[in-house]
Structure 1
Amino acid sequence: MKKVLAAGAMLLALLLGGIGAALAMLATAGAAEADHMSVNDVPEAYRSWLVRAARDCRDPGLTPALLAAQLFEESGFRADARSPAGAEGPAQFMPSTWATWGRDDDASGSASPYEIGDAVMAQGRLMCSLLRQARSSGIPDDSRRLALAGYNAGWAAVEGSRGVPPFGETQRYVADIMGNLVRFGGTGLMSEIIGSGAGPDAARRAATQVGVPYSYGGGSPAGPGLGHCDGEDGFQAGRCQADTTVGWDCSALVQYAYWPARQLPRTAAEQYSATADRPVARDGLRTGDLLFWRHADGHVYHVALYRGDGRMISAPKTGDVVKETPIADMPAADFVGATRP
């Protein structure tokens, strides 16, 4: 399979932009992990710890950008921060919570919520645990939003509300952090998407969903949701994953990204039919354009948002997550065309 994709990479790159585009695409094809683990607009003392905390978690939803946006909300990156309620350090740990999650990660001889390394690593461990609880809870919302709510209000409040609790502080906390992901993201999906209009706006909205699981049939204009299994779709290793996974399939992510400015239909095939009268030439692609692939029988099976620079944002398949990848990761022979909603 990798050989097939690699062969298609050069062909589609040449079609999209010539030899220069092909070389650029090949240069970036192996950079997805680096992009996922990069971070912007953060004090230097925090950078390596943010990357380490995210890597140690091994959950695709916990990125350095998410941790950075959370730290900015908690303390504005002030290591000496202390709240009136007694929360301490840049990650604002209460002493009782610190007793559970705090360690001497920076090998200074003591574990302190005021030491950047200790605080960020403890923040990562707590968020990692909350993300696991969110994914297994069955609550139909973005696991990152639920984990952030749990960090702020306690997981019991999330479970009791079956979602982000209706507390003004918690609602603002979650919205502010999710809204700042693009600011703190690195060179890949989470980098700032320039431009105005429906296309760039849709790409920015899709970018907020990076790391959310793929779930066949899952998602709507309201957000990620439980999927379902249909024939062979939604299964992994012979087991239905979609009906217990809150997330997105490819067309639901696109529908969500454009809603309500462009109210696209639900499936990839329907979206192609609805926009096919506005085709886009390969050398005229703009941010937010829709990219479609189909099987030999003509059925359109996948849609993605064009990101720019030969890359796309999409929800790929069961077992994967929303992410940015080179367009060339998809089979060139299946590419049917691009449209502009």
Structure 2
Amino acid sequence: MGVAAAIGGIVQGADMPDAAEEFAMQQIHAVADQAAAVDVTIDDYIELLPEHSREPARRAVDTAAETAQSAVAPFLPSPVIAVPPDPGIGESLPGAFTEPEVVWSAEESAVAESTVPESIRRAAGVVASNVAAGPMPIGSIAVFVPWFTKAGGICEGITAPVLAALYSVENGFRHGATSPVSPAGARGPGQFMPATWARYGKDADGDGKVDVLGVADSVMASGNLLCDTYSQIDQWKAEGVVSGDTLDLTLAAYNAGVGAVREFGGMPRGSDDYENQTRPYVAKIRASEERFTSILRLLQNDSGDVGVRIVQAAVRYLGLPYVWGGGSVKGPSSGGFDCSGLTSYAVYDATAGFILPRTSETQWNVGVEVPLSDARPGDLLFGNWGSGGPGHVAIYLGNGQMVHAPTTGDVVRIAPIFENMKARRVVS
């Protein structure tokens, strides 16, 4: 693990010839492949111990792994972390940024009104408490959900899933000091231009400041702006001034300005900006709207169902980088999760103590297999089959979707299930 981390850090931080970089990456994969076998061997040995000794042994192994990573870390260059992609679309956003340490306060998500379901407040609170322990990319949807819910009730035309889809496209749910500034000067998670923010920015969470970089103020400003625009476009349609789907045109106006919609009598067209930015922007939001409907429904579910709780635990970390060997029952480590680290954490958190083995191969031996057609949210999905068993594990969301930590260079995301995956119910 230490060798792979060191080589990886050097590759990320050095300007080396392509041939040298390719050789280094081959060494990383070779070390990683060997380490996976060692990991399986350790798990096998632990299973041979008396039952009362297994959990202390697992904790000792986790502690040793984290100690090794901490020992290597001071000698590595700062990693370059890809911009968190849209978890509802499965496509990476352009560009990259280096994420500094960010500490979220629990109060940031506690300002939601009491009508917001406890599951949402709990999700945001757990993210806040975990992040306080160390650096973490800003990319979690959880802290936004109470405000999407509230802003989605301002008017009939703008719903919480629409807002969630828009924010995923605008900024990948990033907020605070690391929120990127667009070339045109738009800022914050809602990407507001100064003049628009001066009109719509309000102190929505009662913290005494109007913060374009914050969650609450930005989301509520977006909700009010979109609702005003939606109403204006409806009026123009009634007057015969514009034509087209009202929501499509409202989203286009958020990107290109309502004046452009009025000028073209509908969807802006012709220029490169309109054809290559505004139209794909609208299409991407509308295409992911249904997926975010499912995500928000799961996060808002207070049924107490253990499968739903497993999903909720995993979805809190959308946008967190994949880290080989990362994660345990205690949460992310070294800044992220690998596939089985995410499932280990989510199941443990949802059950208040059920511990899975640490690898996808050994997790396959827990619980009972169920037909994929009978899989329920929270069941584990296994794929990438080889001679030693499954090489990947994910968590089923429903409707052919899963949440997983895919691979190096990627992040925790929602994606369609792989071909030939098998389902297993590890808890019921």
User: What TM-score range do you get, normalising by the shorter chain?
Assistant: 0.3 to 0.5
Higher relative contact order (CA 8 A, sep 6+): 1
**TM-score normalised by structure 1 residue count:** 0.42
Larger C-alpha radius of gyration, 1 or 2? 2
**TM-score normalised by structure 2 residue count:** 0.34
